[in-house]
Amino acid sequence: MSTQRMNNADAAWLHMDRPTNLMVVNAVLWFDEPLDLERAREILRVRWAEPFPRFRQRIVEPRAGIGIPSWQDDPHFDLRRHIHHIAVPAPGDKRALEQLVGDLMVMPLDRSKPLWDVYLIDGYGNGMAMMFRIHHCIADGIALSRILLSLTDAMPDVGIEPARDDASRRGRIEAIAAPVKAGVQLAGAGLQEGFGILAHPAAELTALGAEARALAKLLITGPDTKTVLSGKLGVARRVTWSEPMPLQDVKKTGEATGTTVNDVLVAAITGALHSYLSDRDSLVDEIRVLVPFNLRPLDQPLPRDLGNRFGFAYLTLPVGIADAAGRLADVCRRMDAIKRSPESALSYGILETIGLTPLQIEQQLLNIFTQKISAVLTNVPGSPGPLSFAGTKLAGVVFWVPAAGTIGLGISIFSYNGGVIVGLQVDSGLVSDPEAIIAEYERQVEALDWLATRHRAKPPGRSAAHGRRRSSGDRGKQH
């Protein structure tokens, strides 16, 4: 029986689990037609469980709780214990699926077996849905996105040879490589590399002062300003997601304003939070969010043992700025600053150190870090073209980043087939109406598109507008 010591950073993610914040990545795929269930199960066996040992291994904690956990082959591994066939309650619409996902999201994964589950969900519209639940200690979001893409085949018009389900064992493993590689290449045409592979890893930074300042920021930054988005957490969660926004339109907005796709999307999210906080008399100048940055090269194959290879940085969102132009300009400036910072690489080292500490100390350190932020904001790229799973076209994808510690809000951005979807998962005691944030986000994207149209119409030499700040009592209108 194979046993392998867990990576320190992965151990840190494992021990972040709390009843009020499970460290589980949740994703939902949906289809306009029912799936061939036997074919779906076979694909999960061939392209998911067989090539990646972590999906066949359980976690063994050290005796007396001191030391690093290990991965151990599950002697009772049975794919059927991980694949569940259920139905969405009537009337089978988006709201019913949101309720089901929220209920499943708070269920701890069974630690007596490998830490993942898949739900095949009948009755969603005229088709069905599929929910994946994978513990964060197995892999980070970028890696899991690539594995999910490896389960799919490109539609014929994309021009990529689909993987064969009836290949030999060696052929099956080789069959995975093509969709994984294709998924990485296709992702480059979507949202680039999420929030980005760290442009300047710490090893390349010669300015020791920059590293010292970044480390001080990570460690010394005080708790975030209290708003209705922060407070004591409960167990119940609510989820929702936006309608797909055309990625090409977002790109045009960025080009017209001299910003990036990510800048535009983050500015729209900031605008949505501005309105939500203002409507509830909780508006502040800034709130701080945690932004993961990928540290894994996208042009290299995923290691079979997967794991987490990302760091994070603090990003302050200027929710106090009243107008769309000012918010976009300020978000662009702040995003550029964290991309040049060594925070992400340094934070990965901090996670590895936290993973070495006893569980009680680890929980205290986690509280120190999570009190500094109000939300997690992540961006994972997907495929710009249509995909199929088990012979059925994939209609849409959304995922939800887990929060941690005292954080009650997770915001996820995902691109698929020319569209961008934003998913929210929230503590239902803090945010009972996440759909209000999503609806305002969609309006903010439209407002920024209108702003870009105005920019394109301007004579050369005119500069962008700058924002002004307003108090919680100054509702005004978007400019």
* 108 or 467, greater pLDDT: 108
Instruction: Give the pLDDT score at 45.
Output: 96
Instruction: Give the pLDDT score at 351.
Output: 59
Q: How far are the Cα atoms of 226, 333, 442, 470 from residue 285, in angstroms, in the given order?
A: 11, 16, 22, 8
The region of weakest confidence among 161-165, 254-258, 353-357, 427-431 is 161-165
Mean pLDDT on 42-54 = 95
30 belongs to a structural domain: yes
256 and 294 part of one domain: yes
Q: Which two tokens stand for residue 398?
A: 């959304």
pTM given for the model: 0.84
Q: How confident is the model at residue 171 (pLDDT cuts 50, 70, 90)?
A: very low
Domain boundary among 187, 220, 238: 187
Give pairs for 79-85: CB < 8 Å, separation 24+. Answer: 79/41, 79/44, 79/45, 79/49, 81/113, 82/113, 82/114, 82/116, 82/117, 82/118, 83/41, 83/44, 83/117, 83/118, 83/120, 84/117, 84/118, 84/119, 84/120, 85/37, 85/119, 85/120, 85/122
Query: What is the C-alpha separation between 269 and 442, in angstroms, rounded?
Result: 9
Taking only the tens place, the pLDDT of each residue in 185-244 is: 434 444 444 554 333 444 443 444 554 554 555 556 678 889 999 999 999 999 999 999
Instruction: Give the pLDDT score at 384.
Output: 87
256 and 111 part of one domain: no
Q: Which two tokens stand for residue 63?
A: 């005796």
Q: Which domain holds residue 326?
A: 202-384+396-457
Tell which phi-psi region holds residue 445, choosing left (phi > 0), alpha (psi between -120 and 50) or beta: alpha
125 and 37 part of one domain: yes
173 and 230 part of one domain: no
Q: Which two tokens stand for residue 127?
A: 């088709």
157 and 256 part of one domain: no
* 9 or 358, greater pLDDT: 9
DSSP character string of 64-130: GG-S--EEEE-TT--GGGTEEEEEPPTT-SHHHHHHHHHHHHTSPP-TTS-SEEEEEEEEETTEEEE
Tell which phi-psi region holds residue 326, choosing left (phi > 0), alpha (psi between -120 and 50) or beta: alpha
Q: How confident is the model at residue 300 (pLDDT cuts 50, 70, 90)?
A: confident
Instruction: Give the pLDDT score at 346.
Output: 55
CATH code of the domain covering residue 360? 3.30.559.30
Q: In percent, how much of the chain has pLDDT > 90?
A: 55
Q: Are strands 375-380 and 287-294 parallel, antiparallel or unpaired?
A: parallel
117 and 180 part of one domain: yes
Q: Contact at 8 Å (CB) between 40 and 120?
A: yes
Q: How confident is the model at residue 156 (pLDDT cuts 50, 70, 90)?
A: low
206 and 161 part of one domain: no
Instruction: Give the pLDDT score at 262.
Output: 93
Domain count of the fold of the chain: 2
Query: What is the C-alpha separation between 262 and 293, in angstroms, rounded?
Result: 13
Query: What is the C-alpha separation between 443 and 162, in angstroms, rounded?
Result: 38
160 belongs to a structural domain: yes
175 and 218 part of one domain: no
28 belongs to a structural domain: yes
464 belongs to a structural domain: no
The region of weakest confidence among 335-339, 426-430, 433-437 is 335-339
Q: Give the mean pLDDT of the chain.
A: 81
Query: What is the C-alpha separation between 81 and 78, in angstroms, rounded?
Result: 6
Q: Of 379, 304, 358, give the one whose Cα is nearest residue 138.
A: 304
Q: Contact at 8 Å (CB) between 441 and 304?
A: no
189 exposed, middle or buried (CB, 10 Å; 0-12, 13-18, 19+)? Answer: middle
Instruction: Give the pLDDT score at 356.
Output: 55
CATH code of the domain covering residue 148? 3.30.559.10
Q: Contact at 8 Å (CB) between 313 and 293?
A: yes
Mean pLDDT on 396-408 = 91
Q: How confident is the model at residue 457 (pLDDT cuts 50, 70, 90)?
A: low
Mean pLDDT on 338-367 = 61
Instruction: Give the pLDDT score at 292.
Output: 83
Taking only the tens place, the pLDDT of each residue in 375-398 is: 999 998 888 899 999 999 999 999
143 belongs to a structural domain: yes
Instruction: With H, G, I as helix, E, B as strand and everything else as coil, classify residue 439.
Output: helix
- Whether the predicted pLDDT of 100 surpasses 60: yes
Q: How confident is the model at residue 442 (pLDDT cuts 50, 70, 90)?
A: very high
Query: What is the C-alpha separation between 268 and 476, in angstroms, rounded?
Result: 17
389 belongs to a structural domain: no
Question: Positive or negative, the Cα torsion across 248, 252, 258, 262?
Answer: negative
Q: Contact at 8 Å (CB) between 376 and 411?
A: yes
In degrees rounded to 5, what are phi and psi of residue 314? -85, 130
Instruction: Give the pLDDT score at 206.
Output: 40
Instruction: Give the pLDDT score at 201.
Output: 40
Q: How confident is the model at residue 403 (pLDDT cuts 50, 70, 90)?
A: confident
Instruction: Give the pLDDT score at 203.
Output: 41
Instruction: With H, G, I as helix, E, B as strand and everything else as coil, classify residue 194.
Output: coil
Instruction: Give the pLDDT score at 459.
Output: 52
Question: Most confidently modeled of 209-213, 309-313, 345-349?
Answer: 309-313
Tell which phi-psi region holds residue 280, choosing left (phi > 0), alpha (psi between -120 and 50) or beta: alpha
Query: What is the C-alpha separation between 381 and 226, in angstroms, rounded?
Result: 31
391 belongs to a structural domain: no
Instruction: Give the pLDDT score at 140.
Output: 87
140 belongs to a structural domain: yes
Helix (H) or strand (E) holding 4: strand 3-5
Instruction: Give the pLDDT score at 380.
Output: 86
Q: How confident is the model at residue 172 (pLDDT cuts 50, 70, 90)?
A: very low
Mean pLDDT on 295-314 = 79
124 and 270 part of one domain: no
Domain boundary among 135, 164, 187: 187
Q: Contact at 8 Å (CB) between 46 and 153?
A: no
For the beta carbon of residue 455, count every other beta carbon within 10 angstroms.
17
* 459 or 183, greater pLDDT: 459
Query: What is the C-alpha separation between 197 and 294, in angstroms, rounded?
Result: 5
207 exposed, middle or buried (CB, 10 Å; 0-12, 13-18, 19+)? Answer: exposed
